[in-house]
């Protein structure tokens, strides 16, 4: 467990170090480049701001009206069978469809059950390990005006399911290490 | 997509709230949802800027170029169709590296450029070629080294150790990518047999 935590902890500083060293070796003005990108970051965040407000409201309404509990309870016999935490199901269903909606619902899960709780960690891992598959396929195929996508959607969703199940399994397995 | 999902969510919750749920709770959640969005966005702002800044250093230097060379054996394995087409291979590797580094903003244009070049050598312009299918799959696989957004959310919610999900994320992403790549390869093989 300690090794895994160590790798997790060193990954971010190490990448920072490599990129900065690379910039210095190429004799670039690294701080100017940094500032350029950072102000770009403000624009990106502001751009998703209205989307997130709309979605956070919708997601917290779904949650507090009780409808999410209703749906997950409907699905729970099947989920119990494969030992899948039903609280994660809404996130798993939305993840391939909308990136921002899944940010909203993942944040909600981390808040409700605790960010360092098992469910919170599963939600975070799932978010990091999967993409908005359906959206990505739409962007890539429509850019070249192709309508026959063959097996891509099935393959992408299979990968997502594998990623989701692995997230749950890995987090359960490592749960002793997180506390 | 959201034009359909968003109203469905809200209308669904209101109906459910009226008939079988808790209207009081629903009322408070309408207001608190908007507030939560503000706190999340504000806390995201810091790390988003930091990473965009760092990544713009990676973008403006030859960093992506250099890393692309390292992954060329993988690209050769994934795109056997392309054989000696170095130009497209380079575009694909740069797209992969941008994804791995979490450079969403430059990954998509690079990927679309590769799609464009692949379309030029595509025999059936209405159908995805094998290489195109593989490229799309790689882009749906979230091969990200540092899942910055999730880490930012975790730290905004006061996690003890926001980065400790990195290794679990790697494992899950890798399994997802392997399953995805294998199924694309299998589907390609099956398709050939049919013909």
Write down the mean pLDDT value for chain B.
Answer: 88
Nearest CA in chain B to A39: B49
Question: Among residues B40, B106, B71, B93, which one has the least CA distance to residue A52?
Answer: B40
Residue at B117 is within a domain? yes
Q: Do A70 and B145 touch (CB under 8 A)?
A: no
Q: Which of A18, A27, A60, A141 is the best residue to mutate to test the B interface, defined by the most B CB atoms within 10 Å of its own CB?
A: A60
Q: Do A64 and B13 touch (CB under 8 A)?
A: yes
Q: Quote the CA–CA distance of A112 and A118 in Å, as a whole number.
A: 12
Mean pLDDT value across residues A64-75: 86
Over residues A150-177, the pLDDT tens digits come to 899 999 999 999 999 999 999 988 876 5
Question: Is the confidence at residue A179, as pLDDT, over 50?
Answer: no
Q: How far is CA B116 from CA A140, A147, B130, B142, B185, in A?
A: 10, 15, 14, 21, 22
% of residues, chain A, pLDDT over 70: 97
Write down the mean pLDDT value for chain A.
Answer: 89
CB atoms within 10 A of CB B194: 5
Q: Do B140 and A146 touch (CB under 8 A)?
A: no
Question: Is the confidence at residue B127, as pLDDT, over 80?
Answer: yes
Place of tokens 């209703």: A70
CB atoms within 10 A of CB B76: 12
Q: Quote the CA–CA distance of B130 and B30 in Å, as a whole number.
A: 47
Task: Give me the pLDDT at residue A26, please.
Answer: 92
Cβ within 8 Å of A, B 31-60: 32-34, 36-38, 40-41, 44-45, 48-60
Q: Do A5 and B161 touch (CB under 8 A)?
A: yes
Task: Give me the pLDDT at residue A168, please.
Answer: 94
Shortest CA gap A94–chain B (Å): 10
Question: Is the confidence at residue A149, as pLDDT, over 60?
Answer: yes
User: Residue A98: helix, strand or coil by DSSP?
Assistant: coil
Over residues B134-163, the pLDDT tens digits come to 999 999 988 888 898 899 899 888 999 999
Over residues B12-35, the pLDDT tens digits come to 999 998 988 778 888 888 888 888
Domain boundaries, chain A: 2-174
Q: Quote the CA–CA distance of B93 and A7 in Å, as a whole number.
A: 25
Q: Quote the CA–CA distance of B48 and A154 in Å, as a whole number.
A: 32
Mean pLDDT value across residues B64-71: 84
Cβ-Cβ contacts under 8 Å, B161 against chain A: 5, 9, 116, 178
Residue at B52 is within a domain? yes
Domain that holds residue B70: 25-194
- Residue A148 bridge partners (DSSP): B127
Number of domains in chain B: 1
B116 touches chain A (CB under 8 A): yes
Nearest to A60 among B33, B118, B126 (CB): B33
Cβ-Cβ contacts under 8 Å, B56 against chain A: 33-34, 36-38, 40
User: Residue A130: helix, strand or coil by DSSP?
Assistant: coil
Nearest to A67 among B16, B45, B163 (CB): B16
First to last CA, chain A: 11
Cβ-Cβ contacts under 8 Å, A51 against chain B: 2
B67 touches chain A (CB under 8 A): no
> How large is the ipTM?
0.86
Question: Is the confidence at residue B77, as pLDDT, over 50?
Answer: yes
Residue at B18 is within a domain? no
Q: Supply φ then ψ for residue B127, to 5 degrees.
A: -125, 145
């Amino acid at each position: 467990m300690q090794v895994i935590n160590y790798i997790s902890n060193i990954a971010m500083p190490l990448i920072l170090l490599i990129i900065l060293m690379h910039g210095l070796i190429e004799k670039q003005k690294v701080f100017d480049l940094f500032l350029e990108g950072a102000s770009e970051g403000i624009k990106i965040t502001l751009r998703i701001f209205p989307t997130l407000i709309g979605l956070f409201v919708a997601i917290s309404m779904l949650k507090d009206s009780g409808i999410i509990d209703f749906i997950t309870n409907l699905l729970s016999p099947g989920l119990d069978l494969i030992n899948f935490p039903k609280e994660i199901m809404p996130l798993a269903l939305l993840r391939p469809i909308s990136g921002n909606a899944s940010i909203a619902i993942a944040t909600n899960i981390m808040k409700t059950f605790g960010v360092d709780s098992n469910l919170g960690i599963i939600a975070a891992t799932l978010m990091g390990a999967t993409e908005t598959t359906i959206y990505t396929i739409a962007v890539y195929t429509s850019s070249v005006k192709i309508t026959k996508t063959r097996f891509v959607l099935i393959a992408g969703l299979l990968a997502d399911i594998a990623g989701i199940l692995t997230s749950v399994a890995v987090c359960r397995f490592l749960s002793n290490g997180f506390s | 997509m959201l034009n359909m999902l968003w109203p469905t969510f809200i209308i669904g919750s209101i109906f459910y709230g009226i008939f079988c749920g808790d209207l009081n709770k629903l009322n408070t959640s309408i207001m608190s949802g908007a507030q939560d969005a503000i706190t999340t966005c504000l806390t995201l702002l810091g790390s988003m800027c930091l990473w965009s800044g760092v990544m713009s250093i990676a973008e403006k230097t030859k960093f992506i170029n250099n890393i692309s060379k390292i992954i060329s054996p993988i690209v050769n394995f994934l795109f056997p169709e392309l054989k000696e087409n170095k130009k497209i291979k380079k575009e694909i590797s740069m797209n992969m590296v941008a994804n791995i580094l979490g450079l969403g903003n430059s990954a998509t244009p690079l990927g679309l450029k590769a799609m464009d070049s692949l379309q030029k050598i595509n025999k059936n312009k209405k159908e995805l070629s094998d290489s195109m299918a593989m490229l799309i799959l790689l882009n749906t696989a979230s091969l990200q080294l540092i899942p910055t957004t999730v880490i930012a959310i975790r730290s905004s919610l006061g996690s003890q150790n926001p980065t400790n999900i990195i290794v679990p994320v790697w494992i899950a992403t890798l399994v997802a990518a392997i399953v995805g790549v294998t199924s694309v390869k299998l589907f390609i093989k099956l398709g050939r047999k049919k013909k």
